[in-house]
A = this chain, B = another copy of it.
Amino acid sequence: MALGKDYAKQECSIARALEVVGERWTLLVVRDALYGVRRYNDFLVHLGAPRAVLAARLQALTAEGVLEKRRYQQSPPRDEYVLTERGLALWPTLCALGVWGREHYDTTPMRIFRHAGCGSGLGRYGECRTCGIAVPVADVEMLPGPGLDPDPADPVSRALLRPKRLLEPVIIDQAS
């Protein structure tokens, strides 16, 4: 966090976690990565964060081992950011936070998450409501919900209208 005063002396794993993901934009970067966003520019347009902040967050998350920067083409050199095991492990937290936000503020869901295996919805903690098991991130299917109001100017937002699995890379249509 590093704001002169970090969460020193907090004797608590929650505070330790917040040192890594507690800054502004950080959890939204992780969320987008779970949604399948991988490229700098896609994060940029979908989040609307300042470029400098995004660059700082991607670097910090990479340094913390939440994201991994990997070269996907040589010429011109281009990198993408993908979640590590440690990053994937944030899914339950994000899921719980999203459930809380939806239940208490956005009553109509923006996105619906289902267990891809059996098609039923996820419970409060990311578990499948019928199977009862904790669904692995890659088996979560995401589809637009009734409360969603996509931004037609944002190709990432458009791409996320198609039902897809988490982590599956977003497909950007080139139509401006």
A: residues with CB less than 8 A from B are 1, 3, 5, 7-18, 20, 22, 24, 27-28, 31, 47-48, 65, 86, 89-90, 92-106, 109-111, 124-127, 132, 134, 148-151, 157
Contacts and interface: CB of A to CB of B under 8 A. Distances in A.
A103 B151 CA distance: 37
A28 B16 contact: no
Given A12-B31, A14-B27, A100 B89 contact: yes
A97 B14 contact: yes
A138 B99 CA distance: 20
A104 to B, nearest CB: 5
A148 B9 CA distance: 11
B20 A27 contact: no
Contacts of A89: 100, 103-104
Contacts of A18: 27-28, 97, 101
Given A17-B100, A18-B27, A125-B125, A151 B11 contact: yes
Given A3-B24, A5-B48, A16-B101, A11 B93 contact: no
